Structure 1
Amino acid sequence: MSITYVLVHGAWHTGQAWARVVPRLAASGRPVFTPTLTGYGETKHLLTPEVGLRTHTADVVRLLVEADLHDVVLVGHSYAGLVISAVANEVPERIARLVFLDAMVPVHGENGFDVMPIPRSMLGTGWRVPPLPELPAPFGLFGVTEPGDIAWLRTMLSDQSARCLEEPVALDNPAAAAIPRTHIHCTVKPDGFDRRPVPPRQPNGEPADVRELAAGHDCMITAPDELAGLLLDVGEPVGAGSMRS
């Protein structure tokens, strides 16, 4: 069985954010899934204070199980770094590689606020967390600066529940530590959004695999060719080494 790509969007976005990447990956013959997590986009009417990280973990686990997906390259953008970590803890046998795309990377017991404290200042007193505001160039709206692209992105954006950032990630399954990881860092970012250094070794003992992309945060919109190339590159050796009869 060949590998399958499952691309998980970040906070406030939808699965449509991957629309420019999907054809490039699909051209390689690999299946590609881009689920929209509960409470965003077409499901934003389902957003309640109870929707959180566990909800989104269950969304992705359900997809993997119901579609009977194995040898999955599981990509998590931004907040979805928490989601894919939790998914790996639950169904490690289905995952060939984790890809943290400009993403939050937790350790056991951490939540989103622990990993990146900045969003706490946005929370206010309510349970709804609105999308980040547009910033001056070159940062724009999540790194998107072209007016037409910004207009398209705005059609996807909606609030998220604070619980997404408050629920801790459980990473207590030893089998999940064996999954190889890749980190893709977007290099165009505002001050104050510094990420943690990636440890020199992965949890499985392999050397760290860190790639850089000269793009803003929403690189799937602004640099789809370059991103697809990186994903195909990290997926190729995994697929070759994890084929199932």
Structure 2
Amino acid sequence: MANFVLVAGAWLGAWAWDEVAAQLREAGHGAFPLTLSGLAEKHGAPAGQQAHVADVVAEVERLDLHEVVLVGHSYSGIPVGQAAERIGGRLAGLVLVDANVPVAGESFADRMPEPAALRADLAAHGGWWPPLPPTEFAEQGLTVGQIARIVAGATAHPGLSLTEPAVLRGPLSALPTVYVKCLLDWPEPPPVVAGLVADGHWRLVELDTGHWPMFSRPAELAQVLAGAVRTAQSDR
């Protein structure tokens, strides 16, 4: 059995994983949802991307976890991907859920279609990225109640984490990774992911749901995560 450290994307905290964590625990795994600095119950403290990397590493070490599967959703794929390099032999696998991936020397903003617009938005809101309005969650496989829950729990995201560049010690191909693509959001994975999958380094799993599967398909997502453990074990 594995120990899952679950990290949600922008605006969200550990609470976003409640249903998925329950499913994993019922299956006998350890599940440890983590809130990154500056978000949810930790809201209010400015935090950069490297602080978020340190959050993940520190949680693994604090709990003395082994056979760790790091799970990063959306934005958090960037710090989680970096943390995967830094926990050494504790790492059993990495799962990126419809996530951004770290690119050495580049930030989250650098990889956006309109990086200048994001930076302007951050400046206009005092260095914070405001949560999305309810309309932005349409056509993502979410119920009205699920959208209301996300909006109610979301907090502004620390802008420095979006503009600070990633620091990688080795190639992404060295990380034992399963990439989960949520098809309602966009049917194709990012080009860097597509290349790693095509070359046989990473594995791709598709979910017929939107960008927030921990809300729209928690049981199915938990099954995918458990399957990633079996994949990692068979690759050893």
- Give the TM-score normalised by the residue count of structure 2: 0.87
1:108 to 104, 120, 124: 104
Offset, 1:144 = 5.8
Residues 7 and 72 of structure 2 are in contact (CA less than 8 Å); yes or no, is this contact kept in structure 1? yes
Which range is displaced more, 214-223 or 118-127? Answer: 118-127
Residues 53 and 82 of structure 2 are in contact (CA less than 8 Å); yes or no, is this contact kept in structure 1? yes
Aligned to 1:18: 17
Q: Which contiguous aligned blocks of 4+ residues in structure 1 show a shift greater than 4 angstroms?
A: 239-242
Which range is displaced more, 163-172 or 148-157? Answer: 148-157
Deviation per CA, 1:52-85: give whole Å up to 9, x if none: 1111111111111111112211110000010111
Structure 2 segments unaligned to the other structure (5+ residues): none
1:188 to 184, 190, 193: 184
Aligned to 1:133: 133
Offset, 1:109 = 1.4
Aligned to 2:144: 147
Residues 111 and 165 of structure 1 are in contact (CA less than 8 Å); yes or no, is this contact kept in structure 2? yes
Change (3 A) 1:132 1:138: closer
Aligned to 1:162: 159
CA distance in 1, matches of 2:204, 2:188: 15
* Percentage of pairs with the same residue: 34
Structure 1 segments unaligned to the other structure (5+ residues): none
Change (3 A) 1:163 1:124: closer
- Give the TM-score normalised by the residue count of structure 1: 0.84
Change (3 A) 1:92 1:179: farther
RMSD between superposed Cα atoms in Å: 2.5
Aligned to 1:69: 65
Change (3 A) 1:119 1:159: farther
Offset, 1:5 = 0.8
Offset, 1:194 = 6.9
Deviation per CA, 1:107-134: give whole Å up to 9, x if none: 2111101223346524252311101223
* Aligned pairs, number: 231
DSSP 3-state at the match of 1:152 = helix
